[in-house]
Structure 1
Amino acid sequence: MSKRSALVAALLLVLGLLVARPAEAAAVRIMPLGDSITGSPGCWRALLWNKLQNGGFTGIDMVGTLPAQGCGVPYDGDNEGHGGYLVTNVADQNQLPAWLSATRPDIVMMHFGTNDVWSNKPTATILAAYGKLVDQMRASNANMKILVAQIIPMNPGTCPECAQRAVALNNAIPGWAASKTTAASPIVVVDQWTGFSTSTDTYDGVHPNDSGNQKMADKWYPALSALLGGAQPSPSPNTSPSPSPTPSPSPSPGSAGCTATYTITNQWGGGFQGEVTVKNTGAAPTRGWTVTWTFAGGQQVTQAWGGTATQSGAKVTVKNESWNGSLGAGASVTFGFIASWNGSNPAPVPVCAAA
């Protein structure tokens, strides 16, 4: 074979290898969308990014027109977390289409509405803004996957009514999502409310601190990893923080032990938010738990999540849900509630019985 023929053969071999090499899959583009809780600095995004990387989800690209703001660890920090923004203003001013055009996301994860609640925007108005943004997302990408958060609790010192307004918004989100979801572009509700405390997980009653950021990252991860892993999450949204009553097993004291710690996390005129942490103090796993306490100030529970609550006179009984009754040795779970009060609101001492 001549030198020229050998050279041609070598070139053809190289070209053949290049043609045969499969194209690398494009990175999935994910847009975190919201206000300062998402972007200023929104360090739950750094925790989530590294959690995804450690979980093997490396083919992702966080996108947005805003850059990262530190957080002390390497991560892909592009985002659309605009401090001080109202979702109703973003919708009214048609700001989202330009962000979508610049970044072309495949998935949007949205925690938006805190400033609207603070500004006393009606729940229906906020949901209408959500709907407009979803329509704009689908105009950008007909197969857009959308994660919408039930927002974290809020209790700013200048807005005692905000806590209850956030509850009203979160209660309405699942129904809105169910009416808006489609097979091609599912809306998955991510419960960022349950288990989050403004007293321990924020530094100002609104913005998450280190523990709050960790809780937010941990809540986003399963929903987002399901999309990235190819599993189709159910578009039927989570109904927390107002779960339907679920029968629970009757406790059998002696088979396991547990303690209950009662905390008032938010309080406003005529109402308050509380949470109770149940911990298995026995050596064996629990099959279920029941917490009871007696109010001394005429308080009345009006809503609960993470447990099924009943009240007879001053006595409150909360039983586990079907999904959180089993606790390993040393494990704990938290349920929350909203209650009314008038005149005084002393904290009762709860009693826990494990089955």
Structure 2
Amino acid sequence: MCILRSLLATLALTTAACLPTTIAAPTAAGPPVIRVMPLGDSITAGLGSTTDAGYRLPLWNRAAAQSRYRVDYVGSLQAGTVPDRDHEGHRGWKIAEIRAQIDGWVTTAQPTYVLLHIGINDLAWGADPADSAAQLTDLIDRIQARQPGVTILLLGLIPTTQGLQQPAAAYNQRAAAIARPRLHYLGAPALTTAEMTDSLHPNNAGYARIADTLYTELNRREIARQRAAGTPPTAPTGWPRTPR
């Protein structure tokens, strides 16, 4: 009997030693992160807004208020009073200048979405709208060749840009006709003079309207993408991020 009790005690100690002292609670997966590259000129940079973030701040706030996905801005530049300061908005640049650098930017950033708004500087310097639209097409092809599967949201030029209404309309008409997979043209809002800080750049109110236009399409495309992939919506943890 003593031998049996000794064997049972030894077995109990051995079994206890093999069991984990704590059982880890299952961790809930956070929402998917989408990498969004704001790409363009000074309007993408946010010139004219009091935050130096332009549409990027109200767009961030709209995206942070939902739970299906999180936005991670990507780009080689950082600017503005916004939780995520990354972007690819180059003040004063024309389409050809963006195209000359785009391969490296896209390769590094690996965006899920590109928010593209470019061309007003070309027209302001007297470029032909048809030629500018052809350069835009080439830029789009470069982005998609470098990053297959990327979705491009192409925002047209502000149709009420002072002194450039006719060339902007001609450019927008050609931009809207560009047919590429995962390319979606968005008409820019017709901003009033009260929504502009100068002849080219919106103020906070104008940028908020641009952000609404971009968010509506970004949200619609991302929900459709998740549904197609069978990704269920989940609630974010510790979101939005702290400023960096």
TM-score tier after normalising by the smaller chain length:
0.7 to 0.9
Aligned equivalent of 2:165: 163
Q: What amino acid is the match of 1:50?
A: N
Aligned counterpart, 1:51: 62
Match in the other structure for 2:80: 69
TM-score, length-scaled by structure 1: 0.54
Say if 1:32 and 1:38, in contact at 8 Å, map to a contact too: yes
Residue of 161, 172, 180 corresponding to 2:174:
172
From 87, 91, 96, the equivalent of 1:88 is 96
SS at match of 1:10: coil
Instruction: Name the structure with the higher strand share.
Output: 1
Q: How much does 1:28 deviate?
A: 0.8
Displacement of 1:59: 1.9
From the superposition, tell whether residues 138 and 3 of structure 1 become closer, same or farther in structure 2 (CA, over 3 Å).
farther
Question: How many angstroms apart in 1 are the aligned matches of 2:22 and 2:140?
Answer: 50
Q: Structure 1 residues 58 and 166 mapped into 2: Cα distance closer, same or farther (>3 Å)?
A: same
**Structure 1 pair 153–206 and aligned structure 2 pair: CA distance change class (3 A):** farther
Give, in whole Å, the separation in 2 of the partners of 1:39 and 1:4. 65
Q: Superposed, which structure 2 residues align to 1:91-170 within 5 Å?
A: 91=99, 93=100, 95-153=101-159, 155=161, 160=163, 162-170=164-172
How far 1:188 sits from its partner (Å)? 0.9
SS of match in other structure, 2:97: helix
Secondary structure of 2:72 counterpart:
strand
Cα distance per residue 1:102-145 (max 9 Å; x no partner):
21101001111111111122223222222222222222321111
Q: Structure 1: how far apart are the matches of 2:133 and 2:17?
A: 67
TM normalised by structure 2 equals: 0.77
The structure-2 alpha-carbon separation of the partners of 1:8 and 1:165, relative to structure 1 and needing over 3 Å to count, comes to same
SS in structure 2 opposite 1:52?
helix
8 Å contact from structure 1 (residues 154, 205) kept in 2: no
1:28-43 matches, within 5 Å, as 28-40=34-46, 41-43=52-54
- Deviation track 1:132-184 (CA, whole Å, cap 9, x = no partner) reads 2222222232111110011113545xxx4x222111111221112xx3x22xx
Aligned position for 2:238: none
- Correspondences of 1:224-243 after superposition (within 5 Å): 224-230=218-224
Which structure has more relative contact order (CA 8 Å, sep 6+)? It is: 2
Taking the aligned partners of 2:134 and 2:21, their CA distance within structure 1 comes to: 60
Question: Does 2:188 align with 1:192?
Answer: yes
Aligned partner letter, 2:169: V
Q: 1:224: Cα distance to partner?
A: 0.6
Change beyond 3 A, Cα 1:8–1:45: same
Give the 3 Å change call, closer, same or farther, for CA 203–22 of structure 1 in structure 2: closer
Counterparts of 1:26 and 1:48, CA distance in 2: 17
Determine if the alignment matches structure 1 residue 211 to structure 2 residue 237. no
Q: Equivalents in 1 of 2:135, 2:13: separation in Å? A: 70
Equivalent residues of 1:36, 1:42 under 8 A apart: no
Return the offset for 1:90. Answer: 2.0
% identity of equivalent residues: 27
| Structure 1 SS opposite 2:191 | coil
Q: Distance in 2 between matches of 1:11 and 1:138?
A: 52
8 Å contact from structure 1 (residues 50, 75) kept in 2: no
User: Once the 2 structures are TM-superposed, how far is the Cα of residue 81 of structure 1 from its aligned partner?
Assistant: 0.6
Q: Which residue identity does 1:189 align to in structure 2?
A: Y
Long gaps (5+) in structure 2 = 1-10, 47-51, 227-244
- The RMSD of aligned alpha carbons is 2.5
Residue in 1 aligned with 2:214?
220
Structure 2 counterpart SS, 1:230: helix
